[in-house]
Amino acid sequence: MSHGKLAPLKRIAPGDRIAVYAPTVTLGGKEKCQAFVLIGIVRDGEPYQVTMSADFQPFRRDVDWLSRNEAPIASLLEKLDFTKGRRNWGYQLRFGLFAISDHDIDLIAQAMGSKLV
């Protein structure tokens, strides 16, 4: 999340429900994905740092991932509170982590074939 920055991970808490949106198939790629690709619940514990390489040590947070079924956002645009009626709906998604309503996370979970507790 946010390329491993600590601050966004501190804003989520155990039990929070999260959905991951992918604008493209690969990071920095041109092929569009425009779908929610993961949904889960944050586990107990604090963010921790891992070493990916000598010059990249991102922070992580443990999550129980419940579904890896993709849910294209196109069919949800007029149903989600944070996109309904917005022509530039993708703008907010560029910021990485932001809060959404229970209504929205439930709709995303349903579209992904998952039931969040």
Taking the C-alpha atoms of residue 25 and residue 63, their distance in angstroms, rounded to an integer, is: 22
DSSP state of 99: -
Decide if pLDDT at 1 tops 80.
Answer: no
Whether 66 is in a domain gets the answer yes
Per the structure, the count of domains in the chain is 1
**Model confidence, pTM:** 0.88
Whether 95 is covered by a domain: the verdict is: yes
On whether residue 107 sits in a domain, the answer given is yes
Residue 85 lies in a domain: yes
Is 87 part of a structural domain of the chain? yes
CATH number at residue 17: 3.10.590.10
Please check whether residue 117 lies inside any domain of the structure.
no
63-109 pLDDT tens trace: 999 987 999 999 999 999 999 988 888 888 887 889 999 999 999 99
CA 80 to chain centre: 14
Cα distances from 37 to residues 25, 68, 113, 114, in angstroms, run 10, 6, 11, 12
Residue 19 within a domain:
yes
Cα angle 93, 95, 101 (rounded to 5 degrees) comes to 55
pLDDT of residue 25: 92
Q: Which residues neighbour 45 within 8 Å (Cβ) at sequence distance 6 or greater?
A: 14, 61, 62
96 within domain boundaries: yes
Residues 97 and 8 sit within 8 Å (Cβ to Cβ): yes
**Cα 92 from chain centroid (whole Å):** 12
Domain of residue 7 covers 2-111
